Amino acid sequence: MGVEGIGASVVRKEDKRFITGKGRYVDDIKLTGMTYAHFIRSPHAHAKVKGIDSSAALQMPGVVAVLTGRQIVDDKVGNLICGWAITSKDGSPMKMGAWPAMAPETVRFVGQAVAVVIAESKNLARDAAEAVVVDYEELPAVADVTAAVKAGAPQLHPEAPGNQVYDWVIGDEGAVDAAFSKAANVVKLDLTNNRLAPNAMEPRAAIADYDAAEEHFTLYTTSQNPHVARLVLSAFYNIAPEHKLRVIAPDVGGGFGSKIFIYPEEMVALWASKKVGRPVKWTGDRTEAFLTDAHGRDHVTHAEMAFDANNKILGLRVKTYANFGAYMSLFSSSVPTYLYATLLSGQYDIPAIHAEVIGVYTNTTPVDAYRGAGRPEASYLIERMMETAARQLKVDPAALRRQNFITQFPHQTPVIMAYDTGDFNASLDAAMKAIDYAGFADRKAKAKADGKLRGIGVSCYIEACGIAPSKAVGSLGAGVGLWESAEVRVNPVGTIEILTGSHSHGQGHETTFCQLVADRLGVPISQVSIVHGDTDKVQFGMGTYGSRSAAVGLTAILKAMEKVESKARKIAAHALEASEADIVIENGEFKVTGTDKAIAFPMVALAAYTAHNLPDGMEPGLKETAFYDPTNFTFPAGTYICELEVDAGTGKTSFVNFVAADDFGRLINPMIVEGQVHGGLAQGIGQALLEHAIYDANGQPVTASFMDYSMPRADDLPSFKLSHTTTLCPGNPLGIKGCGEAGAIGASAAVINAITDAIGKNNLEMPATPDRVWRTIHAA
Amino acid sequence: MYQTIYHRASSVDEAASLFAKGSEAKFLAGGQTLLPVMKQRLAAPSDVIDLGKIKELIGIEASGDTLTIKAATPHYDVATSDTAKKAIPALAYLASLIGDPAVRYRGTIGGSLANNDPAADYPAATLALGATIKTNKRTIAADDYFKGLFSTALEDGEIITQVSFPVPAKAGYAKFPHPASRFALTGVFVAQTKSGEIRVAATGASQSGVMRVPAIEAALKANWSPSAIDSVSISASGLLSDIHGSSDYRANLVKVMAQRAVAAAA
Q: Per residue in A660-673, pLDDT tens?
A: 999 999 999 999 99
Backbone angles phi, psi at A568, to 5 degrees: -65, -35
Instruction: Give the per-residue pLDDT at A3.
Output: 86
Report the 3 state secondary structure along A107-149.
ECCCCCEEEEEEECCHHHHHHHHCCCEEEEEECCCCCCHHHHC
- Whether the ipTM is more than 0.85: the answer is yes
Query: Model confidence at A333, in pLDDT bands (50, 70, 90)?
Result: very high
Residue intervals of chain B classified under CATH 3.30.465.10 are 56-166
Nearest residue to A711 via CA among A689, A678, A681, A741: A689
Torsion A534-A537-A543-A549 (CA) sign:
negative
Task: Collapse the DSSP code of A173 into the 3-class scheme (helix H, G, I; strand E, B; otherwise coil) and give the result.
Answer: helix
Task: Collapse the DSSP code of A229 into the 3-class scheme (helix H, G, I; strand E, B; otherwise coil) and give the result.
Answer: helix
* Whether B102 contacts chain A with CB within 8 A: no
Instruction: Give the per-residue pLDDT at A1.
Output: 47
Backbone angles phi, psi at A165, to 5 degrees: -80, -45
Name the residue in chain B with its Cα closest to that of A650: B253
Q: Are B50 and B6 in contact (CB under 8 A)?
A: yes
Which of A690, A711, A771 is nearest residue B249 as measured by Cβ atoms?
A: A771
Determine the distance in angstroms separating the CA of B68 from the nearest CA of chain A, rounded to an integer.
31
- Please give the C-alpha separations between residue A229 and each of A43, A250, A534, A542, A543, in angstroms, as whole numbers: 28, 14, 11, 10, 10
Nearest residue to A750 via CA among A660, A648, A633: A660
Taking CB atoms and an 8 Å cut-off, how many pairs form between chains A and B? 49
Based on the number of CB atoms within 10 Å of its own CB, is A566 exposed (0-12), middle (13-18) or buried (19 or more)?
exposed
Query: Model confidence at A2, in pLDDT bands (50, 70, 90)?
Result: low
Name the residue in chain B with its Cα closest to that of A705: B180
Which of A694, A710, A771 is nearest residue B246 as measured by Cβ atoms?
A: A771
* Whether B42 contacts chain A with CB within 8 A: no
Q: Are A657 and A642 in contact (CB under 8 A)?
A: yes
In CATH terms, A299-468+632-778 corresponds, of 3.30.365.10, 3.40.1360.10, 3.40.50.1820, 3.20.20.60, to 3.30.365.10
* Whether B41 contacts chain A with CB within 8 A: yes
* Whether B96 contacts chain A with CB within 8 A: no
Name the residue in chain B with its Cα closest to that of A775: B249
CA-to-CA distance for A185 and A536, rounded, in angstroms?
60
- Please give the C-alpha separations between residue A258 and each of A224, A247, A331, B134, in angstroms, as whole numbers: 9, 17, 11, 51
* Whether B181 contacts chain A with CB within 8 A: yes
Query: Model confidence at A468, in pLDDT bands (50, 70, 90)?
Result: confident
Residue A468: cis peptide before it, omega within 30 degrees of 0? yes
Q: Do A709 and B253 touch (CB under 8 A)?
A: no
Per-residue pLDDT of chain B (266 residues; tens, 9 = 90+): 899 999 999 999 999 999 999 999 999 999 999 999 999 999 999 999 999 999 999 999 999 999 999 999 999 999 999 999 999 999 999 999 999 999 999 999 999 999 999 999 999 999 999 999 999 999 999 999 999 999 999 999 999 999 999 999 999 999 999 999 999 999 999 999 999 999 999 999 999 999 999 999 999 999 999 999 999 999 999 999 999 999 999 999 999 999 999 999 99
- Please give the C-alpha separations between residue A375 and each of A188, A344, A681, in angstroms, as whole numbers: 20, 9, 14
CA-to-CA distance for A518 and A237, rounded, in angstroms?
42
- Residues in A touching B262 (Cβ below 8 Å): none
Residues 251-290 of A with CB under 8 A from B: 287
Range A79-97 average pLDDT: 97
Q: What letters, b where the CB count within 10 A reaches 16 and e where it falls short, cover B5-43?
A: eebebeebeebbebbeebeebbbbbbbbbbeeebeeeeb
Name the residue in chain B with its Cα closest to that of A708: B180
Which of B2, B41, B243 is nearest residue A708 as measured by Cβ atoms?
A: B243
Domain ranges of chain A: 31-139+201-254+259-292, 299-468+632-778, 483-628
Paired sense of beta strands A205-211 and A652-663, if any: unpaired
Q: Chain-wide mean pLDDT for chain A?
A: 97
pLDDT in tens, A493-514: 999 999 999 999 999 999 999 9
Range A717-727 average pLDDT: 97
Residue intervals of chain B classified under CATH 3.30.43.10 are 5-50
Question: Has residue A695 got a pLDDT over 90?
Answer: yes
Q: Do B243 and A706 touch (CB under 8 A)?
A: no
pLDDT in tens, A594-652: 999 999 999 999 999 999 999 999 999 999 999 999 999 999 999 999 999 999 999 99
Name the maximum alpha-carbon separation found in chain B: 57
Q: Do A708 and B1 touch (CB under 8 A)?
A: no
What fold does the segment set A483-628 form as a domain?
Answer: Aldehyde Oxidoreductase; domain 4 (3.30.365)
Domains A299-468+632-778 and A483-628 share a fold: yes
What percent of chain A is modeled with pLDDT above 90?
Answer: 98
Which of A707, A769, A775 is nearest residue B181 as measured by Cβ atoms?
A: A707
Report DSSP state, residue A719: P
Range A453-481 average pLDDT: 94
Architecture of the B56-166 domain: 2-Layer Sandwich (3.30)
* Whether A123 contacts chain B with CB within 8 A: yes
* Whether B253 contacts chain A with CB within 8 A: yes
Residue intervals of chain B classified under CATH 3.30.390.50 are 170-264
Using left for φ > 0, alpha for ψ between -120 and 50, and beta otherwise, residue A62 falls in: left
Q: Are A268 and A237 in contact (CB under 8 A)?
A: no
**Highest CATH level, class, for B170-264:** alpha beta
Which of B1, B41, B180 is nearest residue A710 as measured by Cβ atoms?
A: B180
Determine the distance in angstroms separating the CA of A725 from the nearest CA of chain B, rounded to an integer.
35
Range A97-126 average pLDDT: 98
CA-to-CA distance for A564 and A572, rounded, in angstroms?
12
What type of residue sits at position B41?
R
Q: Do A650 and B256 touch (CB under 8 A)?
A: yes
* Whether A650 contacts chain B with CB within 8 A: yes
Which of B176, B243, B245 is nearest residue A694 as measured by Cβ atoms?
A: B243
What percent of chain A is modeled with pLDDT above 70?
Answer: 100
Using left for φ > 0, alpha for ψ between -120 and 50, and beta otherwise, residue B130 falls in: left
Which of B40, B180, B256 is nearest residue A649 as measured by Cβ atoms?
A: B256
Name the residue in chain A with its Cα closest to that of B253: A650
**Highest CATH level, class, for A31-139+201-254+259-292:** alpha beta
Which of A769, A774, A775 is nearest residue B179 as measured by Cβ atoms?
A: A769
* Whether B1 contacts chain A with CB within 8 A: yes
Architecture of the B5-50 domain: 2-Layer Sandwich (3.30)
